[in-house]
Amino acid sequence: MTACVRVERDGNIAVVVIDNPPINAGSVEVRRGLVAAIDEVNAQPEVFGIVIMGAGNTFIAGSDLHEFGQPIAEPSLPAVISAIETCEKPVVAALHGAALGGGFELALGCDARVALSGTVLGLPEVTLGIIPGAGGTQRLPRLTGIPEAISLVCSGERVRADAARMLGMVDIVVTDDLRGAAVACARKMEGRKARIRDRAVPACDDGAIEKASAAALRAGKNRPAVRAAIDAIVSSATHSFDDALASERAAFQALRVSREARALRHQFFAERDAAKHPAAETATARPLQRVAVIGAGTMGAGIAIAALEAGFDVVLLEQDEAALVRGVDRIRSHYQGRVDAGKMDTSVAREREGRLKASVDWTLVAGADLVIEAVFEDLKVKQEVFRRLDSIARPGAILASNTSYTDLDAIAASTSRPQDVIGLHFFSPAHVMRLLEIVRGAATSQDVLATGLQLAKRLRKQPVVSANAFGFIGNRIYAAYRRQCEFMLEEGASPQQIDAALEAFGFAMGPFAVADLSGLDIAWRMRQSLASTREPQARYVHIPDRLCEAGRLGRKTGAGYYLYDQTGGARRPDPEVDRVIDAARLEKGIAARVMNDEEIVRRSLLAMANEAALLLAEGIARQASDIDVVLVNGYGFPKWEGGPMFWARERGVEALEEDLDWLAGLSGPGFVRGDIRQLFSAEQRT
C-alpha cells in the first residue's frame, strides 16, 4: 500500500479507498497502492469480495497527464487492471463524481460498476491526441456495441450515470449510500467473477459500423487519434482480446509521444493555468445572483442566454421598446429552437425564460449584483452608459463592459468607483463561444477580478485575464495576423488561396472569410480610430478600405471579399475583388508574384508570434500560454497545433530569430520586432 491508498473492512468485504486529492488522479503512487492492496486482500480467505472507491468528491477523474510525456513508471494501468482481473475475488467499482479516462478504464476492469446518480463517465483520451491505452477500446464495445463505442470514444463524450446505465456502462445507479450499495453488490456476487473481457462483442451490421466511423472521422477532422481509436474498437470483434489489447497499447504508446498529443496536453494545462491569477488567489469573490445586461442586440441577447443557462436571474435593458422586443424575441427563439430540436424539455425552457425580465426602466439596475454593458463599440457611448449606471447601481455592484478593444480605464474614469469596473469580452455568439477575456483595469480590485474568474466558471467559459490595452490579447494578435495576410494579398496571393491555406492548416475559417462573416466595417472603424497614431511611413494596405468604400461589408451586404447568395451562406470568388486588388497593386507599383501555401501559413503564424512577444513585454498577457488559450478558444486556431506560442517554441530560438528577420524584410516599414525570448520564459507575469 501507499499513503494514497488504504484498505478498510466492511464485514467480509474489503473496501480499497483511493485518497489522492484533489481529483484522485491515477498517479504511479495510486497504481502501486492498488496493486499492493489487491495482492494483500486476495491472500485473505475471510474476504469474499472487494470494493474500490475514491475518497473526497470523486472516483478517479483521470490519469496524471504529466506522466504522458515521459516513460510511464510501473506498474502501468494495464498491470493494475490485470491484477484486478486475475484476483480470485470479485471486484466492484463504486463510482461518484467523475470516472474519466484511466479512471473509467479501471472501472471497466472490475467485475461490476455501481454509480451514484450524477456521476460522469467517459473516455476523453482522443481529445488529448491519444486513445484509451488500458483496454477501454476493448471492454467498452463489449458493453455498448461497436457503433456506440466508436461514438463515445472518438467524441470523448461524458455520460451521466443514468444514461450510462441504459448503455450498459454501469450495472447499478443509486441516489445515496454508494458504499453500502457497492458492498451489497460485492456480497451478492458470492465470490463469482464477471470479467468484461470474457464477454462477446455484440453482433452488429457492418453498415452501422461504417456509418459511426464516417461520422466520427468527419467530426474529428480525420485526426490520427480518431483513426487509431476506430481501428482499435473495430478490432475488438476481429481479434483475440489479448492481441487487440496489445495493439491498443502500442497505438497509445506511439500517440502519447506525438507532437499532436504534446500540443493538446500543452493546451490542457494552459487552460487550467489561465483560469487562475495570482492577484485573485487571496481575494474573496463577491456573491452574484442577479445580472443586468444593458443592450438587447445580438451580443446582449447572447450574454443574457449564457447567464440564464448558468442559473442567474437576468434583467435585459434597452433604451426603446422596439429594440427590447427584438432582443426578447432572439432569446425566446433560441429556447424554442432547443425545444424543437429535442435538446431541451419545454419545462426547462420555460423555467429559464421565467428568470428573464425585460424592460426599458433602467432603475431596475439597482437590484443587480453585476451589470454587463453590451452596447455599440464607441468610447463616448460606453462612457455615457457607465455614468448613468454609476448613479443607479447599488454600492458594491460590479460594472462590466463587454468591450472588444475600447480603453477600459477611460470607461472606468466616467464612474466614481473604478475599482468595481472590469472588462468581460464575450465572443459571438456569447452563449456558445467558450472564451471569456477578462480585462483588468488599472483600478480593478482583486475581489472584482476574483469574481470575474468565478463568473467564468459558473458560465462554463474559459477565462483569460488581460491587462488593459487596445484590442487586449485576442484582437491585438488577430490584427497583426490579419495585417500580414493583407500584405500577402497585396504581394500576389488571392483571398481564396490565403483562406484555403490557413483552413488546410486547421483554422476553422480563413481571415477573409472571417472578415466577411463579422463585417468588414468593424475592422474599418478600428483602423480609422487608429489612423492618427499610425506612423506615416508604415506599410498600409488600402484594399479592405476600398472594399468598404464600395459598400462591400461582407455577408450582411451580400458581398465582401466574396460574393454570397441571398441566404448569406455559400461563398464564391468575385472578379470585382480581383479588380480592386489589381488596382491597389498598380497604384503602389507592386508586381504580383506566385506565393506557395507554406509561405502563407509560416508568415501568418510568425506575425502572431512576434505580436505575442510584444504583448508579453508590455505586460498585457501574463504568460505565453494564455495567448495560446485565447487563440484556440476564441479565434479558431487548431487546438491540435497547441496555439501559436506552442508552434513558435517548437521551432526553437535560432530558427525563430531567422524567421523574424525574413518576416521583417517582407513586412516593410512600421514592422516592430519583438524579443522572441519572451516566448520561452516560464516567468509568471502579474
DSSP string, 315-384: EEE-SSHHHHHHHHHHHHHHHHHHHHTTSS-HHHHHHHHHTEEEES-GGGGGG-SEEEE---S-HHHHHH
Strand 5-10 relative to strand 13-18: parallel, antiparallel, unpaired? antiparallel
The three grid cell numbers given for residue 123, joined into one nine-digit string: 473516455
Burial class for 200, CB neighbours closer than 10 Å (0-12, 13-18, 19+): exposed
Distance of alpha carbon 524 from alpha carbon 511, whole angstroms: 14
Which residue is it, cell 487546438? 639
Length, in residues, of the chain = 686
- What are the residues whose beta carbons fall under 8 Å from the beta carbon of 437, sequence distance 6 or more? 423, 424, 425, 427, 463, 464, 466, 472, 473, 474, 630, 634
Angstrom distance (rounded) from CA 382 to CA 296: 15
CA gap 164, 147 in Å, rounded: 15
Cis preceding-peptide flag for 90 (omega within 30 of 0): no
Beta strands 98-100 and 112-116 are unpaired
Name the grid cell of 578. Answer: 480581383
Q: Which of 40, 85, 125, 618 is catalytic?
A: 125
Task: Tell me how far apart the alpha carbons of residues 225 and 433 are, in angstroms, rounded to a whole number.
Answer: 25
351 is catalytic: no
Alpha-carbon span 110 to 193, nearest angstrom: 9
Q: HSE-up of 555 (CA within 13 Å, CB side)?
A: 12
Structural element, H or E, at residue 115: strand 112-116
Which candidate in 105, 148, 260, 490 is catalytic?
A: 105
d(CA 551, CA 49): 76
Q: Which of 612, 600, 598 is nearest to 645 (CA)?
A: 612
- Look up 125 and say whether it is catalytic: yes
The CA distance from 384 to 363, in Å, is: 16
**Are the CB atoms for 362 and 368 separated by under 8 Å?**
no
Of 340, 14, 391, 397, the C-alpha closest to 179 is 14
Cell of 101: 479516462
Q: What is the dihedral of CA 659, 664, 667, 672, to 10 degrees?
A: 120
Question: Which residues are annotated as catalytic?
Answer: 105, 125
